[in-house]
Amino acid sequence: MIGFVVWLVVTPAIYRVWTPPRTMFMLTDPADGNTVFQEVSLDHISRHYIAATLAHEDAQLGTRMGPFHLGDFIDRTQTYIETGDDLSGSTIPQQLVKNMFLIRGEWVGTRVFRKGVEAVLSWPFNLMGDQRQLELYLNYAQFGPNLYGVCSASWYYFNRPPWDSNPWDAATLAGLLPLGEDARRAPGGGVDVESDGTWLVASTVANARNKVPQRISEMGGWEGAVATVGITDSAGDHPPLGAPKSCSVMPQAVADRLAAEGAWWSPQYGD
């Protein structure tokens, strides 16, 4: 018990300053191939990506006291036990600790246990602050089979660094957050929403493209959205060339995957 308490104190302090290159979700990914991941600093992530993530996943991250509302969590848990449905989803702090430390599994018992553990772990990790949690979340989120983080995803799908984005692409990636393991790259670039078997991805992406811009507008535009977590600048205020953790060049792991897939780029994404 003492050891666990020490772990709860020490580990968040470590993650506050260090981004380990692997998480439990990465290590338990059932997909073939190597893990594609490269860290990027929050300074060099487009504010369109940040705003879309907040609007789609957790608009109250910067205004809520604690990692989640206790009453909402109790209601969610009761509904899930009774019906198997989780209509509201986990907050960013809850999703973050799940991605970092918990195993996959769709069996009901596994999911209930996982939600309980993520609720406990999210409290000490919430002390890292909103911006650090958001930075880790965007680095560890899954955007495809063995594809993790907005650095890799931005290059893989759009042939652009993560500091160079637009509202459409940002909403598209936000739409992948519930089911990143099912996402696929479209021929020529972008997310595949037309091939057979992609109906679920197509549905969530279409929903995000439709609703995320509206939610961002209600939050005061991207500037108002990111201001809720204390961000008052743009990625353009942080010159990326030569800067550490800027993801200015396509990661080699992304280039290797694209080459293995025989990928090509349409004029929309450059050549």
As a whole number, mean pLDDT of residues 56-76 equals 87
User: Average pLDDT for residues 198-213, to the nearest whole number?
Assistant: 96
Tell whether 255 is covered by a domain. no
Interval 218-240: pLDDT, tens: 999 999 999 999 999 999 999 98
Residue from 24, 198, 252, 220 nearest 117 by CA: 24
- Answer whether residue 200 shows pLDDT above 60: yes
Does 76 score more than 70 pLDDT? no
Which pLDDT belongs to residue 75? 72
Structure tokens at 167: 């509202």
For residue 252, pLDDT beyond 90: yes
- The reported pTM is 0.94
* C-alpha–C-alpha distance, residues 182 and 30, integer Å: 12
Cα 29 versus chain centre, distance: 16
Structural domain includes residue 263: no
High-pLDDT (> 70) share of the chain, %:
92
The pLDDT value recorded for residue 86 is 60
Residue 261 lies inside a defined structural domain of this protein: no
Of the given ranges (58-62, 81-85, 122-126, 207-211), which has the lowest mean pLDDT? 81-85
> Is 167 within a domain?
yes
172 located within any domain: yes
Tell me how many domains the chain contains: 1
- What are 212-218's contacts with CB under 8 Å, separation 24+? 212/52, 212/55, 212/56, 212/167, 212/170, 212/171, 212/174, 212/175, 213/167, 213/171, 215/55, 215/56, 215/59, 216/51, 216/52, 216/55, 216/167
Mean residue pLDDT across the chain:
92
pLDDT, tens only, 119-149: 899 999 999 999 999 999 999 999 999 999 9
Q: Which letter does DSSP use for residue 265 in this model?
A: B
The CATH number linked to 62 is: 1.10.3810.10
Can you give the pLDDT at residue 3? 86
Q: Which helix (H) or strand (E) holds 148?
A: strand 147-148
Task: With respect to residue 66, please indicate whether it lies within any of the assigned structural domains.
Answer: yes
Check residue 191 and report its DSSP letter: B
pLDDT of res. 112: 73
Give the SS3 label for residue 231. coil
Q: Does residue 269 sit within a domain?
A: no
Statement: residue 166 has pLDDT above 70: yes
Output the CA angle 253-21-238, nearest 5 degrees.
Answer: 80
Please check whether residue 248 is in contact with residue 151, taking contact to mean a CB–CB distance below 8 angstroms.
no
Please determine, for residue 71, whether its predicted confidence score (pLDDT) is greater than 60: yes
Within a domain: 117: yes
Q: Is the pLDDT of residue 87 over 60?
A: no
- What is the pLDDT at residue 133? 98
Q: Residue 186: which domain range?
A: 2-15+24-250
pLDDT tens digits for 14-64?
Answer: 999 999 999 999 999 999 999 999 999 999 999 999 999 999 999 999 999
For the cut 90, the answer to whether the pLDDT of residue 249 exceeds it is yes
- Please say if the pLDDT value at position 77 is more than 90: no
